[in-house]
Chain A
Amino acid sequence: MCEECGERPATVYVAKSVNGERSEMHLCTRCALEKGEIGPLMQSPGWLLDQFLSFLTGITAPALGEPASARRRPQAGIAPAPARCPHCGREYAEFARTGLLGCARCYDAFRAPLAPAIRQMHGAAAHLGARPGRAPARPGAEGAPSSRAAGRGPAPGEGGGGGPGRAAPEAEASRPAETREARLLRLREALKEAVSAERFEEAARLRDEIRALEAGGPSSGSGGAGREAKG
């Protein structure tokens, strides 16, 4: 959270050295602009994690000269978590401190506090895109199953240049955008609402509809990059 206004997420990291004394500040872009702090600037790559952790623990980063305790604001809606993951033994406290989980099943063990924190951080609660077992990549491409079967050697007919990689995203760029794009946008909004209201059946249906719409686009079937058939 921004140390100046305490309202917007901190996106700008300002480190200064005044009379040999180093100081650091995390500000939102607007406050950084108003304070004239962004001349040459750095944006901390870790700000999203900071934001996530402060949401999780209800503690925002202390402002300069302010004790951390003064900033403690218990988050409403954060459910209690077990002390540790029963599968790998990762302690919840360790996770809340570092932001790092211990195993895939930690996501289940800590699902209750994770769900709202993940939703807040990503602005989404459901994955869209590639998934295991999706349709195989084009045969003959680099590292594709057929070249594994062949053992080695370039696949015949594999051209140089930008190559097949362009298929999916360009197809996306050229699809008849407005109506479909608008529909996707609307569906995604509905999905977000359904999830935050915990109407999970509806959410699942919306997610499938979004996936179908994305997969079934007029020109997106060939490349497969991120736009797979459901597996």
Chain B
Amino acid sequence: MRHVDEALDKALSPWMKGGGPLGDVVLSSRVRLARNLADTPFPPQMTPDLAERTKERVARAFEGWRDREGRPLRLIEIARLSPLDRQVMVEKHLTSPLHVRQEAGALLLSADEATSIMINEEDHVRFQCLAPGLDLAPALERALRLDQYGEECLPWAYDEDWGYLATCPTNVGTGLRASVMAHLPAIALSNQLQGILLALSNAGLTARGLYGEGSEAHGHLFQISNARTLGRSEGEIVQQMESAVRQVVERERSLRELMASQMGDQLADRVWRAYGILANARSISSAEAMELLSLLRLGVDLHIVPQVDPGIFNELIVLTRPGFLQRLLGGAQSPEKRDTKRASLIRAALARATG
């Protein structure tokens, strides 16, 4: 249980500390591989008893796995987590909202939190590998190694035509979902999202706002992922995605430069105002915090406010989520209390980062 607390206490997973390739625009890359057991009903059709047995079976299959430093995966069982802890797991993107509702669900998590195995989510097994910046290829290789390691004692459901069989036919074939989290403030502020979206969807990719509901995308954070999983190999899917994302990054960078050169004073004013509010506010909502943090990060990347460590942006995104805040406050709290705590955390983090 101490290990669980470790993963939940820190806002920043160890793997996130480096900036990674194209880290000024792409915060992180993620690869997910879906796998199922050929001899067991899929999760929607499993009895609770079978679900328990599947959990134990998969956990045992990976007992001997070690990372490069010789550290094992640790088992986190959903049933043992409080509702708040479950929310924090989702806010840290360690697992999914669906998964934390599965009483027989479990997560195998590596020490650096960059590698994990979701057990009994929509599929029996989902390998997840993360990397900072735009770096899908090594994440893919890690996931495929986990797959091969598991295959020695787990009979994967596989069809000669349709490849790896998933609970939902949208995931058959490779079972691969590759995605990146991109910060696109200049594209968003210059109303160019439409064109980008059209280009992405023509390339078979989907994009969605990462935070916020409905039509609002707080913090200009977007998740871009491949839509289809069948008919192209893992390497091809990842390669095609990287080149599409590279183009988005180039557009974002050139628009940032354009903004800086054409509306330098105006932009600097907005960035410094964002900084002023974040550094001094006594109460701030999640939406406002995301908006201002996005502006501040843009200002850091454009060297308008050079003295702030860009890494705190990633940390504050998680730190200021409702679940994480309440956990810090020791339990469920009113929105007002959360807003106050959020403001004080941001002030402290900025003071540290500008130190």
Contacts and interface: CB of A to CB of B under 8 A. Distances in A.
A170 B230 CA distance: 21
Given A143-B65, A169-B137, A11 B206 contact: yes
A11 B206 CA distance: 8
Contacts of B188: 40
Interface stretch (A62-70, A71-79, A145-153): A145-153
Contact of A114 (B41, B169, B176): B169
Nearest to A30: B198
A212 interface: no
B165 A129 contact: no
Given A102-B44, A122-B229, A163 B138 contact: yes
Q: How large is the interface on A (under 10, 10 to 19, 20 to 34, 35 or more residues)?
A: 35 or more
Contacts of B142: 142, 165
Contacts of B231: 122-128, 188
Contacts of B236: 128-129, 172, 226
B218 to A, nearest CB: 9
B149 A100 contact: no
Nearest to B69: A154
Contact of B173 (A90, A122, A170): A122
Interface string B263-278: 0000000000000000
A96 B269 CA distance: 54
Given A127-B163, A166-B138, A172 B197 contact: no
A225 B141 CA distance: 5
Interface stretch (B51-59, B76-84, B152-160, B323-331): B152-160
Q: Nearest 5 CB-CB pairs, A to B?
A: A124-B231, A165-B138, A127-B163, A226-B234, A15-B214
Interface of A: 11-12, 14-17, 22, 29-30, 32-33, 38-45, 47-49, 52, 88-90, 98-104, 106-107, 114, 117-118, 121-134, 136-137, 141-145, 147-148, 151-155, 158, 160, 162-170, 172-173, 188, 214, 223-227
Given A100-B42, A169-B136, A188-B231, 18 more contacts: A29-B194, A48-B206, A52-B170, A103-B40, A104-B38, A104-B157, A106-B42, A114-B169, A124-B228, A126-B161, A126-B230, A127-B159, A132-B158, A137-B145, A142-B68, A154-B66, A164-B141, A166-B141
12 contacts: A43-B206, A49-B168, A88-B45, A100-B122, A101-B167, A126-B161, A127-B162, A129-B235, A132-B158, A143-B146, A145-B152, A169-B136
